[in-house]
Structure 1
Amino acid sequence: MHVLATAGHVDHGKSTLVRALTGMEPDRLAEERRRGLTVELGFVWTQVRERTFAFVDVPGHRRFVPTMLAGTGPVAAVLFVVAADEGWQAQSTEHLAALDALGVRHGLLVVTKADRADPGPVLADAGERLALTSLGRVSAVAVSVRSGRGLAALRAELAALGDRLPVPDTGADVRLWIDRAFSVRGAGTVVTGTLGAGTLRVGDELALGRSGRRCVVRGLESLGRPSAAVAAVARVAVNLRGLDRHDLSRGDTLLTPGRWRHIDELDVRLRGAKAGELHRELVLHLGAAAVACRVRPLATDVVRLSLSRALPVRAGDRGLVRDPGEHRVPAGVDVLDPSPPALRRRGAARARAVELAGDPAAAFVRRHGAVALDELRALGWQSHASERVGRWAVADGLLDEAATRAREAVARAHARDPLSPGLALEELRRELDLPGELVAVAVGRTDLVVGDGLVRPAGAAPSLPAPVERAVREVERRLAREPFAAPDAHDLAGLGLGPRQLAAAERAGRLLRLADGVVARPDAVEAATAILSRLPEPFTVSEARRALGTTRRVAVPLLELLDAQGHTRRDTDGRRTVRGAHT
């Protein structure tokens, strides 16, 4: 389906043309039909060469410009109507300025009432005016609804326009700008809008943009027919469960949950005006929404807009600012950054303008260090010049800097507590202020190792504090004389070797802890295995104890360690054999 706004003309001629094209009545209100003046948005459709064209018939009178913009904002093409007997009007100028500000690039020019006046001069004049805007040179047709002249040619041009319109992304996140909300007896709340991208399905859960409240699609209707699914681009009516009609108003949105960010401050590039030409209080029109905003210039063509109400905005969105007091549209806006930094220092605005002239997405990543790719997509940035690591976009040099800081943090932790087994990984994550996945990548760029939730240097054994070093040397001297005569707890305490000191000595590779308060030489397993392999088998704990020249206090945990490492095998009667001793 292709959706076009019909704009440019204020009287009944525009609606008459749409009626002739579609066979449907675009003016829903009795007042509109009585006065010949479009007041509200009208929605009709027709088939042209097996293609469906839907029309949003917008008001032309300047009193209803906000309504006109609500109908025009979400669509990508326009049917611009001017009457041959009236020519270019003031409302034509305002409608064209709005279309230009919105950056609409596709359309047709239709000069109506060709039976009442020569359409040639109006075709030429209007065509030149449109050519100076974002529409550029468009196909033009003169028609007479009364005689039928030109209607076949108009249908042919519509078909050709359909070939030129961009292909929508039907897999995109849904953002349906609501232009009508009402209740239907027996059905409940219904909203209508133009679906510009994505697909809606019955049963989908959506979020109401303004409050985030969840609702479910109870039913869908497009072009007057119920449907299980509607894909962009389409006019759609959505029957909602979970929202009351009074919860909704024009300019609200229905969104794919979790995929959009609501923004009340954004940096934009101006089209059609300079920052110094704008009043400081304007109205931003985006989609079907109209929101008061304050304007702060950053550069000649870049300003910051502070909104009175947050909207679901993404980088790349197009809108316009309107001056309601002067009844004019001074500029269109292209959203550059929907999540800008605060400007607190002198010269910050000028520096920000320079930053926006580059890659705003990369600048956003630099500002935050590391940003989830899903967050960037939610802000409208599909591409950026940042390093990608897993599901993160990372500022250039951040991980190398984090690696250096990790080394320094581990060194500081060791200096504070030389007996510590290492720096807790969670503590390092907090210090680096990075997600755990990126901490692991940063540590991987160092000579540090991670184990048991701790980060410590790899390679060389850690040094021991001087008092501990002296005590360990004394134990080593005793074990050199009697390898399995472990000092008792009283002796260890006298040397100043408690549990923490012994753990540090073991990490340093100086001692082997067999049990609490029981230590041996680091080579005790190999030495014991060699001695026990010479015993008649199977042997008892007492036989092993005598062979090793030690006490039961040492022999029992040592034998249990040999069992655990597979050097010995314990039988059900408690006796043991050395594995592989007789092979």
Structure 2
Amino acid sequence: MSRSGAESWVVATAGHVDHGKSTLVWALTGMEPDRWAEERRRGMTIDLGFAWTRLPSGATVAFVDVPGHERFVPNMLAGVGPVPAAVVVVAADEGWMPQSAEHLAALHALGVRAGLLVVTRADLADPGPALARGRAEVAATSLGAVEAVAVSATTGVGLDGVRAALDRLGAGLPRPVVDGPVRLWVDRSFTVRGAGTVVTGTLGAGRLRVGDRLWVAGTGEEVRVRGLQVMGVAREEVTGVARVAVNLRGTARDRLVRGEALVTPDRFRSSAVVDVRVVGDPVADLPGTVMVHVGSASVAVRVRPLGVDTARLRLARPLPLRVGDRAVLRDPGRRHVAGGVRVLDVDPPPLRRRGAARARAAVLGEVDGRPDLVGELRRRGLVRAADLLRMGVPVVGAPVVVGPWVADAGHWAGVRTRLAEEVSRYARECPLEPGVPVEVVRHRLGLPDRALVEALVGPPLRLVAGRVCGDGGPGLPAAVAAAVGRLRVGLAQRPFRAPEAECLAELGLGAREIGAAVRAGALVRVAGNVVLAPGSVEEAGRVLAGLAQPFTLSAARQALDTTRRVAVPLLELLDRQGVTRRHPDDTRSVVAASPGGGVTASPVRR
């Protein structure tokens, strides 16, 4: 999508030392990008410089001027990292040089796709050879075929062509995501009297407003945006891509050094271990320790090769990385850009078993580094939605959502099958238990949250009093079934003579055995350890219906041929079931069904 002329963008310079990058920026902007007296004295850029100018279209371009000397390549990478486009500078009188190649390799490693080739010092030598060589070198990288302009910053010849080319470059840049989260890599930090801590950086995406809360990625502390400036002008709101100065409340300058990042709360994950795809040197040839450059950060990493082009990086300190991020691997010992990496996973699984690295390489071989909800769920099975957002993976359209969790549909179905298997297994192992406790089944299924177990329960499984129960089951253990059988032989003769506790104990029927028999439908619990055979309660209602109504407790006890210990709870149970109705004088009547379908008390005979 093209951009309107009223907008602004940011470009970085790149090229060999003393090829005129800073001079070109000065000629275009009238601003001195070399900020330090040491830089001006030595005639070379040591640290990052910043300047800006208005172009013929009315748009504004900001320059991040980077050092060209090999010793300051880390500074160069800190400036290029967050910037979407680059101006590659080559001097006509010197041509293509070693740092030209290294800077271009860094741009390629970062996947920069927009650029401009400028051959400087066209007044000192024929720019043709440098233009031809520069075009060929740049075309072989991610930048591809770029526009090329020859210029003399000293005489001014060609500057209008550079300005026009910058306009065309900016018009072709894709629009940044302005409604996404903020990640501002800090490249400078200083204190302003009366204002406090100020940091600068290139806002690549998102939106910053005065009053916003941000987190310092390295420490997790919260800071607030007190003020914003873009190109020297105070703003209430800034959207990417822009060079921005942020006045912060709530932190000291020394806590925000170059390489730190300010991020939107809860939208980034600081990772110390990441899996990446490497483009450049063969993974097997990489040294064990290299430097990784991402944003403005430069961190030592240990490299563990996984596949032909995949590796695991262990960072010396965590960084706020997301799936799809690009970074540069540099071997400082050889003064060499070893290649670029694309982040595939910011929360990779541990590699503990034999063959785990090989298996992991096979998984990563199918990952392209683009945020992919379906793929992430397939690989992880189950994950918190908030964790996916921190990885940079959108969660809209997740197939299974349970509270804060999202799951792959196939994985969820498999866990539900395993749940049924575990319930059956527990019933066999503990036949006297009324189902498997939720916490036990959560542990057996390896689920991180008991709410997930509860969400999995569905017919024929039931959730009762914190336990998962199945309909039916393996039945009572043989010993318990035999004891219940002996008990029911006695009840067959006198069905309402519930055995005493001593008799139950002699039969081997304790509280757990009785509970299991009741759940299995082999006994009916009237109260406590007062148990009868199935159907006894209904039969009691029929017997009592034959009495003169209303009847007393004594009459009921005699009719049922039982004791007060059984008669009292049995009548109370019949009351609760609506079979009988208790009157104020403690007599009762059997309730009979009326023709209209309701209930009515049996006629009272006095």
Equivalences for 1:318-467 in 2 at 5 Å? 318-343=326-351, 348-359=356-367, 370-382=382-394, 388=400, 390=402, 392=405, 398-399=411-412, 402-403=415-416, 405-435=418-448, 436-440=450-454, 444=458, 447-459=460-472, 463-467=475-479
Describe the SS at the equivalent of 1:123: helix
Given residue 430 of structure 2, which amino acid in structure 1 is its aligned partner? Answer: D
- Structure 2 residue corresponding to 1:37, chosen from 44, 64, 68: 44
Query: How far 1:50 sits from its partner (Å)?
Result: 4.6
Residues 276 and 297, structure 1, Cα contact 8 Å, conserved in 2: yes
Report how far residue 106 of structure 1 moved.
0.6
- Taking the TM superposition and a 5 Å limit, the aligned residue runs for 1:167-186 are 167-186=175-194
Partner of 1:563: 575
Query: Structure 1 pair 347/543, CA: closer, same or farther in 2 (3 Å)?
Result: closer
- Checking the alignment, whether the CA contact within 8 Å between 2:472 and 2:520 is kept in structure 1 is no
Of 12, 16, 19, the residue aligned with 1:5 is 12
Quote the residue 2:498 is aligned against. 486
Among 498, 504, 507, which residue is 2:519 paired with?
Answer: 507
Question: Retained in 1: the 8 A contact 2:223–2:250?
Answer: yes
* Structure 1, 380-389 or 243-252: larger mean CA deviation: 380-389
1:56 matched to 2:64? The reply is yes
The residue type equivalent to 1:176 in the other structure is L
Change (3 A) 1:473 1:110: same
Alignment match, 2:483: 471
Three-state SS of the structure 2 residue aligned to 1:378 is helix
- Which has the higher mean CA deviation after the structures are superposed, 506-515 or 10-19? 10-19
Q: Distance in 2 between matches of 1:502 and 1:134?
A: 76
Shift of 1:105: 0.7
SS for the counterpart of 2:215 is strand
Output the CA distance in 2 between the equivalents of 1:304 and 1:223. 40
Task: Tell me the equivalent position of 2:283.
Answer: 275
For 1:552 and 1:298, how far apart are their aligned partners in 2?
79
Residue 314 of structure 2 corresponds to residue 306 of structure 1: yes
How many residues were matched structurally? 581
Q: CA deviation at 1:438?
A: 4.3
The percentage of aligned residue pairs carrying the same residue is 55
Alpha-carbon distance change, 182 to 541 in structure 1, aligned in 2, over 3 angstroms: farther
Amino acid of the structure 2 residue aligned with 1:286: V
8 Å contact from structure 1 (residues 73, 102) kept in 2:
yes
Deviates more, 1:146-155 or 1:132-141: 146-155
8 A Cα contact 1:510 1:521, kept in partner:
yes
Q: Which moved more, 1:103-112 or 1:61-70?
A: 103-112
Compared CA separation, residues 90 and 370, structure 1 to 2 (3 A)? same
Measured after TM superposition, the shift of residue 70 of structure 1 is 0.3
1:350 is displaced (CA, Å) by 4.2
Is residue 399–residue 438 contact of structure 1 (8 Å, CA) maintained in 2?
no
1:110 aligns with 2:118: yes
1:65 to 69, 73, 86: 73
Checking the alignment, whether the CA contact within 8 Å between 2:86 and 2:114 is kept in structure 1 is yes
Number of the residue aligned with 2:34: 27
What is the CA-CA distance between 1:12 and the residue it aligns to? 8.1
Distance 1:538 1:45, change over 3 A: farther
Q: How far is the alpha carbon of 1:429 from its aligned partner?
A: 0.9
Quote the residue 1:316 is aligned against: 324
Aligned to 2:596: none
Q: Secondary structure at the match of 2:574?
A: helix
Q: 1:499 touches 1:516 (CA, 8 Å); kept in 2?
A: no
CA–CA distance in structure 2, aligned partners of residues 348 and 232 of structure 1: 41
- How far apart are the structure 1 equivalents of 2:517 and 2:352? 53
Residues 533, 581 of structure 1: 8 Å contact kept:
no
3-state SS in 1 of match to 2:600: coil
Instruction: Using the TM superposition, give the Cα deviation of residue 185 of structure 1 relative to its aligned residue in structure 2, in angstroms.
Output: 1.9
Q: Which residue of 1 aligns with 2:295?
A: 287
**CA shift in 2, pair 1:343/1:517, >3 Å:** closer
- Kindly state the Cα deviation for residue 431 of structure 1 after the two structures are TM-superposed: 1.4
Shift of 1:506: 0.9
Gaps of 5+ in 1: none
What is the Cα deviation at residue 570 of structure 1?
4.1
Cα distance in 2 for partners of 1:345, 1:424 equals 32
Aligned partners of 1:539, 1:141: CA distance in 2, in Å? 113
> Once the two structures are superposed, what CA deviation does each residue of 1:211-246 show, in whole Å capped at 9, x if it has no partner?
333333333333323334333222222223332222
Matched residues in 2 for 1:324 and 1:496: separation? Answer: 79
Cα offset, 1:519, TM superposition: 1.9
Q: 311-320 vs 526-535, which deviates more?
A: 526-535
How many angstroms apart in 2 are the aligned matches of 1:433 and 1:159? 57
The structure-2 alpha-carbon separation of the partners of 1:368 and 1:101, relative to structure 1 and needing over 3 Å to count, comes to closer
Name the SS for the 1:167 alignment partner.
coil
Instruction: Identify which range, 353-362 or 507-516, moves more after superposition.
Output: 353-362
Structure 1, 391-400 or 165-174: larger mean CA deviation: 391-400
Task: Identify the residue that residue 509 of structure 2 maps to in structure 1.
Answer: 497
Partner-residue secondary structure (3-state), 1:193: strand
**Retained in 1: the 8 A contact 2:385–2:395?**
no
Q: Which runs of 5+ in 2 are unaligned?
A: 1-7, 593-598
Identify the range of structure 1 (387-396 vs 163-172) with the bigger mean alpha-carbon deviation.
387-396
Please give the alpha-carbon distance, in whole angstroms, between the structure 2 residues aligned to 1:188 and 1:323: 37
Distance in structure 1 (CA, Å) of the matches to 2:545 and 2:52: 95
Q: What is the one-letter code of the residue matched to 2:470? A: P
Q: Is the 8 A contact 1:359 1:385 kept in 2?
A: no
Answer whether contact 2:23 2:153 (CA < 8 A) is retained. Answer: yes
Which of 92, 108, 118 in structure 1 is aligned with 2:100? Answer: 92
CA distance in structure 2 between the partners assigned to 1:508 and 1:277 by the alignment: 68
The 1:128–1:338 alpha-carbon spacing in structure 2 relative to 1, beyond 3 Å, is same
Shift, 1:507, TM fit:
0.4
Which amino acid in structure 2 is aligned with residue 581 of structure 1? T
Deviation at 1:78, TM superposition (A): 0.8
Cα 1:573/1:15, change in 2 over 3 Å: farther
Q: 1:522 aligns with which of 528, 534, 543?
A: 534
Q: Following the alignment from structure 1 to structure 2, what is the Cα–Cα distance between the partners of residues 198 and 572?
A: 76
Shift of 1:135: 0.6
Tell me if 1:74 matches 2:74.
Answer: no
User: Partner of 1:581: helix, strand, or coil?
Assistant: strand
